Amino acid sequence: MIATIWTVFRKESQDGLRDRRTLFTILITAIAMGPVFLLLMANFVSGLEERGTRREVMVDGIGNAPELANFLQRNDFTIKPAPADYLDEIKSGRLQEAVIVIAPDFSTRFAHGDVIDVELVFDESRNDAQVSIRRAENLLHAFAKEIGITRLIARGVAPDVARVVNVERINTATPKQQGAFLLFLIPMFGLISAMIGSMSAAIDTTAGERERGSLEPLLMNPVGVGALVIGKWSAVALQSCAVLALTMFSFALAAHVVPSEKLSLLFQFGAPELSRFFAMMLPFACMIAALQMLVATYGRSYKEAQTYAGYIALVVNFVPLVTVFSAFRDAPWQLLIPALAQQMVLSRVLRGDSVSAYAYLVPGLVAVALAILFLVGLTRLLQRERIIFGR
Amino acid sequence: MIEVAHLHKSFMAASGRKRASVTAVEDVSLTADDGEITGLLGPNGAGKTTTLRMIATLVAPDRGIASVDGLHSVQNAMEVRRRLGVLSDARGLYVRLTARENIRYYGRLRGMSDAAIKDSTERLAQLIEMENLLDRRTEGFSQGERMKVAIARALVHDPQNLVLDEPSNGLDIMSTRALRDLIRRLKEQGKCILMSSHIMQEISALSDRIVVMAGGRTVAAGTAPELIEIAKARNLEDAFVALTAHASQDASPPGTRP
């Protein structure tokens, strides 16, 4: 039994390593995926940072409102004149900023103490515009408040009369938590790399055998189907784990090298995180290898099996999205769902939250149980005449 | 020695929306002795391949018994497999492995030492003239070259009993001759050889005894002269036509390959 498993494992590993073109593609993907993603992320985050701290505001017709101009300058804001066709520019997305539009009668109304209409033009659907919209609104409110207070004081009324509620903002999100969505993507990487690592090997050792017509002679050897299945699976699972490890190492290395202070504030990815990723992802990789083999066996050809494998990938990618719909709230039952559990626990690891041993143990046991189930199913399947001969 | 008694096998086959039972083998009995080449002759769809698969323990018979060296093919499947070398209908190779590695894989699965595998491989390679192929990857091999590797793979453990399903399928004249020489040589070594074919010339050129199958049944067995005698025909071809035509008339619906 052990000798058979070893023989099959060696053969399938050698066979897999000889498939140079597939191997090359997988390795390039595994090595490049992390660093490329990190660079994009660093770029995105620093862009946010830059826009957030810029003290600029875009105004159309600032000449009509010297009072507002004075207020902005006192607060150290630079006033940028809006382009003439700002409405079209905003609509088309070329201008991703809010524009304050001042009417010609601003000063007259200001002098009379009438209510002044000011327009704020923006496209809310633009993510990049959000910061400037909020900034423009805040500035206008601050301006109105300042003028209001001086007017009240001028009439001998205490300014607090107009202030019913005082709001103080207390934000409990640590800087790490603010990047929640970005952190959601990193565990996803682990899941995807485990699947990429095992997919071609899983298909080649099952549907590939059927398509080549090598399954029937293989099964005529005096060895149990169970031993063949375990041998094949060990080879596939090892490839899955190897690609996963490579992806994660390359990511950790990139996280170390890419210089972005903002990113390192968002998350840490050093040795402790890496080891937690492995503790979480390796059982998953072994499980997904077994699942891919089981499903691929139904395929009469490589192509058919690839279609099935595509569906598995789709499900694995979709399951973690549950956390998005539940607004990143964690619930204990999520530990029981593969992919979702990995997603949840690893996001927490990245956020720097504390994670109990339980959270590693439960998903690990679920993965092991499922892997065994899939392998037993695969062994049964390979004894069916329809699978052995149905070409 | 291979013995088969009253084998029966039917499959569930989907025909349109309904699933119907198709009988592939109705009632097959035959004996293949050591030191003899037994030819299993029958038209396409006679049930030859299914019969051989039952002997090779890959298909369990519904009724009847197949045995190899007196060992039951279902109850003693592993031991039967050890005593058999099978060249099956499917003879796919691993294209990224060399011929030698393909053969070695099977040798190892059969528990042979690497030294024994090496000896056996080289001996077989010499016999079937494939020494120059051994260390090439099998990708791009011609049909004849692939067949040679498949034969070497099936014989690497030097089995006492050989089951060959349409062994000369797709071979050119030179390769067919090499194959026939090999089969005769194995017979001289006292091996039991059971080979199937739908080509009469193939069977008559090699076989000591011929078993004729039609419609899932064995309809006659004997040496070529005996078969001619039984069918009261002038030659083997006429005998074959007469025997199979007779069987096809009263046979159950003809079987199909699953």
Cβ contact, residue pair A18, B81, below 8 Å? no
Cβ contact, residue pair B92, A7, below 8 Å? no
Q: How far apart are CA A185 and CA A192, in angstroms?
A: 10
Domains of chain B, CATH where assigned: 2-248 (3.40.50.300)
* Token couple for A170: 């207390």
pLDDT, average across residues A295-313: 91
Predicted pLDDT of residue A260? 66
Question: In which element (H, E) is residue B137 found?
Answer: none
With beta carbons under 8 A apart, name residues in chain B contacting A225. none
Task: Tell me if chain B has a CB within 8 Å of the CB of A225.
Answer: no
Q: Which residue of B has its CA nearest to A386?
A: B258
Q: Is the pLDDT of residue A177 over 60?
A: no
pLDDT, average across residues B45-63: 92
The top-scoring range by mean pLDDT among A194-198, B20-24, B82-86 is B82-86
Percent of chain B whose predicted confidence (pLDDT) is above 90: 59
* Token couple for B163: 């089951």
Cβ contact, residue pair A213, B92, below 8 Å? yes
Q: Distance between the two ends of chain B, CA-based, in angstroms?
A: 27
Task: Tell me if chain B has a CB within 8 Å of the CB of A7.
Answer: yes
Task: Tell me if chain A has a CB within 8 Å of the CB of B97.
Answer: yes
Percent of chain A whose predicted confidence (pLDDT) is above 90: 30
Predicted pLDDT of residue A178? 53
Count of C-beta atoms within a 10 Å radius of residue A241: 21
Percent of chain B whose predicted confidence (pLDDT) is above 70: 93
Q: Judge whether A122 and A90 are in contact, CB under 8 Å.
A: yes
Identify the residue among A225, A385, A388, A391 best suited for mutation to test binding to B, counting B beta carbons within 10 A and taking the highest.
A385
With beta carbons under 8 A apart, name residues in chain A contacting B84. 220
Confidence category of residue B127, pLDDT binned at 50, 70, 90: confident
Give the range among A71-75, A127-131, B33-37, B234-238 with minimum mean pLDDT.
A127-131
* Token couple for A106: 């601003």
Compare CB distances from B91 to A19, A217, A219 and report the shortest one's residue.
A217
With beta carbons under 8 A apart, name residues in chain A contacting B94. 11, 15, 212, 214
Question: For the segment A214-249, what is each residue's pLDDT rounded down to a tens digit?
Answer: 999 999 999 999 999 999 999 999 999 999 999 988
| CA distance to partner chain A, nearest, from residue B257 (Å) | 9
Percent of chain A whose predicted confidence (pLDDT) is above 70: 90
Predicted pLDDT of residue B256? 44
Stated pTM of the model? 0.81
Question: For the segment A327-370, what is each residue's pLDDT rounded down to a tens digit?
Answer: 556 678 888 888 888 888 888 888 777 888 888 999 999 999 99
Predicted pLDDT of residue B255? 45
Give ∠ CA B199-A220-B90 in degrees, rounded to 5. Answer: 40
| CA distance to partner chain A, nearest, from residue B5 (Å) | 21
Predicted pLDDT of residue B209? 94
User: In sequence order, which residues have a C-beta less than 8 Å from that of residue A358 and are 6 or more positions away?
Assistant: A335
pLDDT, average across residues B191-203: 90
* Token couple for A281: 């992802």
| CA distance to partner chain B, nearest, from residue A1 (Å) | 10
Predicted pLDDT of residue B173? 86
| CA distance to partner chain A, nearest, from residue B190 (Å) | 22
Task: Tell me if chain A has a CB within 8 Å of the CB of B224.
Answer: no
With beta carbons under 8 A apart, name residues in chain B contacting A8. 109
pLDDT, average across residues B100-122: 96
Sheet holding A118-121, edge to edge: A78-81, A56-60, A99-102, A118-121
| CA distance to partner chain A, nearest, from residue B108 (Å) | 7
Q: Distance between the two ends of chain A, CA-based, in angstroms?
A: 29
Confidence category of residue A389, pLDDT binned at 50, 70, 90: confident
Cα atoms in the Cβ-side hemisphere of radius 13 Å centred on B246 = 13
Cβ contact, residue pair B90, A14, below 8 Å? no
Q: Is the pLDDT of residue A82 over 70?
A: yes
Q: Is the pLDDT of residue B250 over 60?
A: no
pLDDT, average across residues B199-217: 90
ipTM: 0.91
Task: Between A38 and B75, name the one with better pLDDT.
Answer: B75
Q: Judge whether B28 and B4 are in contact, CB under 8 Å.
A: yes
Question: For the segment B144-180, what is each residue's pLDDT rounded down to a tens digit?
Answer: 889 899 999 999 999 999 999 998 887 888 888 888 9
Task: Tell me if chain A has a CB within 8 Å of the CB of B230.
Answer: no
What's the whole-number average pLDDT of chain A? 86
Compare CB distances from A212 to B78, B81, B92 and report the shortest one's residue.
B92
Predicted pLDDT of residue A172? 61
Coil, strand or helix: which one is A348?
helix
Give the range among A263-272, A341-350, A378-387, B109-118 with minimum mean pLDDT.
A263-272
Predicted pLDDT of residue A179? 59
- Chain A and chain B share a number of CB contacts under 8 A equal to 80
Q: Is the pLDDT of residue A89 over 60?
A: yes
Predicted pLDDT of residue B100? 96
Task: Tell me if chain B has a CB within 8 Å of the CB of A216.
Answer: yes
Q: Is the pLDDT of residue B191 over 90?
A: yes
| CA distance to partner chain B, nearest, from residue A336 (Å) | 39
Q: Which residue of A has its CA nearest to B113?
A: A3
Compare CB distances from B92 to A214, A220, A386 and report the shortest one's residue.
A214
Q: How far apart are CA A231 and CA A373, in angstroms?
A: 16
Q: How far apart are CA A4 and CA A285, in angstroms?
A: 23
- Please identify which residue in the block is written with the tokens 């071979």: B171
pLDDT, average across residues A148-171: 80
Q: How far apart are CA A135 and CA A265, in angstroms?
A: 24
Task: Between A262 and A278, name the one with better pLDDT.
Answer: A278
With beta carbons under 8 A apart, name residues in chain B contacting A18. 96-97, 137
Q: Is the pLDDT of residue A40 over 90?
A: no
Confidence category of residue B253, pLDDT binned at 50, 70, 90: very low
Cβ contact, residue pair B258, A385, below 8 Å? yes
